[in-house]
Structure 1
């Protein structure tokens, strides 16, 4: 009886929710049409779609509870911006899936609930009306089993028992099966599609990538500080002592003086290599001045008139800042060496997708990656962050390098 009761409760609630779902369909249509009324639907309709998602998730939870299975909750939030909200409401696969389920719920919830009402209600109703058969008028007696009139207590008890057993048997057999079937149908209809699962996976990877980039940037800064303040400082001290030792040695020291000279020169070479490693790993100027100050300094020393235009960049992961710095530095170096340009424009902007870097010069064009123009290195740095590089350099110019670096968090 517990199974019958749970199934009956599920289906009877589904009967009410089916009626509500039937009313929600024209409301959604009104929400779409209201876009013509001062653009009201641009704000209202996405929120109606979110309400539909909550409605669907509530039914999904009920179905999972009946079947005693667990399901992962789907996102019920709205992105920032009216445009993004509208695109999610109109084009999002989840919104279309919820709308299809709403139509199914209206079409299946009502008849399934009526069947449960007929089965359970028939059994309980028969018991109730049989007890008061004598209240019915003589000309219109109570009829059980469809057509048999009840004229006395004997007929009432016998016919009532038979009808109660039949209705109860139907409810006992049909209601739990129908409830489970409807619940499975609900879960199937609202199960995330491959497209939605892929989008969610991409979102998870984007978040995890942002965390990895932050951790990687912090580690780069730590290593840079350790090398700059520790190893490099020690090499400087060693080189200075070796230099002092060379100066204090007598001229007739011979082999010892030569060894000191080689050691001194080796220490200086090691310092130069270490500085280059630090610069290519995480430029100290980024720590000192930030990306804006670093790019301004690079442009000022580019050897070619360069203009830097920066949008609202916000906080960028250190790895993205370093990659942007190297992209701009390499592009300006290429322009100064190969393009013959009189002016270069560097523009950095940020949107929902990430950081957009555009370097345009008015040079002769014809950039060829196979001739060591540095574009291969730019592509590698962008690819390390799952970014993209587009180079447009027709003969006669101009040359445009467009780099997109994902950095959404």
Structure 2
């Protein structure tokens, strides 16, 4: 009885935490409208961090009250901005005089780009009617069992023991719900690998509910486009009508957050939409120390930067396509996302639930919901039918919404060409630097090792020649040492050649070369490969050294005991996933290894992505286009 009474008290506290989460969710959503809509970005970090505080309190109280430990799955915070040699702070392609704005942008990207942030918001939104309601359900049953006999329902007394008997189970269910939403992904370990736990029923429910939830988020972005477009129009009126020209970069540049957010959501319906903006030109002073922007010369860098940003924004066709999208998206995108969401919402909350509450709780009936032509009973099947239709058309609506976003937010052919030229320039510089660094390494190894040993061999042979007539015994001893030096020189040459291009890679291919790496790794490494054909040697070498770098980092820094390497080759690209069961927290910004790996693969249009939440596990993904799909990987 004591345990059940305690479980009832724990249920009350867990429900109270969900109410606190609702308050945090309301404050966060309230900050989104002025933050994204009016460009008041400084309003965003505080409510998001407050929401994290609430979620962390829920984790701690769940662990204390229900005995369920939940680790915080947040990514590490970004490092502070670094001042460049010219005194400016750079964030992407924009220069700032003060570190405040680049730090703010980095903090916002960190918060919005972390999946744990959205899991926290999801918990705040649905916990009161799911996990929190489950924790409170036994107390509600007991209260109903006490109250119903006074209204002529003595059978309600049966609810009291039901509530007491299920109090502990309800708390466990609520704690499991909190762990599911507030913790990281569930993993189970086996001898060979680390695999996610599969739940077929939950996967089916997720597949049915995920498209409507995505449409709800897309509908939110479409609604946010209304204040963004209003702010844009008002900014143009004030800029060109009242002469407040400084507002133009604000409404064109600072309000790009919404379009950037929408592009990042495009992966729900296909590949992500790349940024369509032209590269920001480099600002260079002439021989007189003046900065030229167009046909104007500026003596101070501050005004030159402002003028350059103004001309860059107003002269980019992608800017005006985005302005057009701000005005049309509330109509087109709002209808595409709103119709299925409205069907599901009205079917469940407008027809089904009102009829259930009228029947079970005796709630008053309203004429506008819960009835079909005055008859309340068809409301349930009609509502379920509407919700079912909304769920069925939701995946197609997500796809069409993505196509609509690509119409105006995708880069034009000219923008793609400009970005490609900039990318080629950068990767050519990376390739030149990597080649020069490799040549220096080879030269250093030859000079410090093999060359010095060969010089010593020549000196030994000269000494042997002099000793042959006078001291044959000493000559034989020196000859034996010389033979050992020859073997050492050969081993050094083999190691040097192996560092340039491993023989096992040339003879047996990438899969066997990686398996050889796994055998030499201090970690227990499992390799799985599906490579139907051989790739060009440069791509295989880049992939091999990429896996070697990843396994080396895992062995040195992660504290892992096991690692996995999965390689899959399709007609489009080579995909390699290197995972470990270490402590996680890997950050490309805090070390040169991952940046160097990205530069190595960037020569072949490859990309590197990493997932490494605090507490692990870490998963590093390498993707390299095949030679047939990438003009830069041609060996000719």
When Rg is computed on C-alpha atoms for both structures, the one with the higher figure is: 1
TM-score over 0.5 (shorter chain): no
TM range (shorter): 0.3 to 0.5
Could you state the TM-score of these two structures normalised by the residue count of structure 2?
Answer: 0.29
**If the length of structure 1 is used for normalisation, what is the TM-score?**
0.43
Question: Which one has more relative contact order, counting CA pairs under 8 Å at least 6 apart?
Answer: 1
